[in-house]
Structure 1
């Protein structure tokens, strides 16, 4: 593994970590603020998805550390690296929340594919393999959200 390939993998993993934290916060925010006829189902779905996303944060950070890298250290570091757009409007309607989370999960899937490519380039078989499971989880979240939109 070249030092450039390893550095690229660490950077890619930290970008994924930032996206995971941002997606977790947004999903949890929508869990707290959803309302309307589908409140119960969406409240539970968003909570389930947030829990799944949060569980990834430690796994991603540990992959960074196992590669000899440093993880993100603050909210500012997360904000600087994430591709997930912030949503501070707590009054958007439930379907707008669903649509936004579906798009964000697709962004997350794209980032996972970048990490997989970086892991392949770096010869990191462990990260390469585990990213497949993370991708499957993200694809399922996106699928559930798409199905709600009809």
Structure 2
């Protein structure tokens, strides 16, 4: 198979920009749809990573050490998702996120810029955000299924499992021992 050749296309600034024709057997429409779905997930992962680190840095209270360490572990896991997500987009020939501004335009996980957040509220909010991320991952998986992108779907399945585990830990850490539910 010949190496992909760069061809000239017009960039955002109007100048000729090289475009890579990444080899794939997926239809061009499929790579576009998958890349769009993954970029939205990637923006959410960056937003959730930042929020998790924010809460990690600003944790307080009697369970400080346990929550602080748990959130650090969860942030590390989230950050570990970013490179494989972005590289998968590029493997398909798509363009990926380029800036914090790009993240903010695509993210669906809301920021929390409050000066103080109660620890229980932190855990509850992160639990809800991880549940929202699972829903987004499932939607992206459907896009992959519709476009026969088995490799991306396989990665997403592992991320769903990891995200469900984070959700479970956050739920259990925040659960009132006097109740069986939230």
- Counterpart CA distance in 1 for 2:57 and 2:162 is 22
Structure 2 residue aligned with 1:147: 172
Structure 2 residue aligned with 1:48: 73
The structure in which a higher percent of residues are helix is 1
Structure with the greater alpha carbon radius of gyration: 2
Pick aligned residue for 1:78 from 97, 103, 107: 103
Pick aligned residue for 1:27 from 38, 49, 52: 52
2:83 pairs with 1:58: yes
Pick aligned residue for 1:138 from 155, 163, 168: 163
* Equivalenced residues, count: 150
Unaligned 5+ segments in structure 2 are: 1-25, 176-182
Structure 1 residue aligned with 2:146: 121
Pick aligned residue for 1:87 from 100, 112, 117: 112
Unaligned 5+ segments in structure 1 are: none
TM-score by length of 2: 0.80
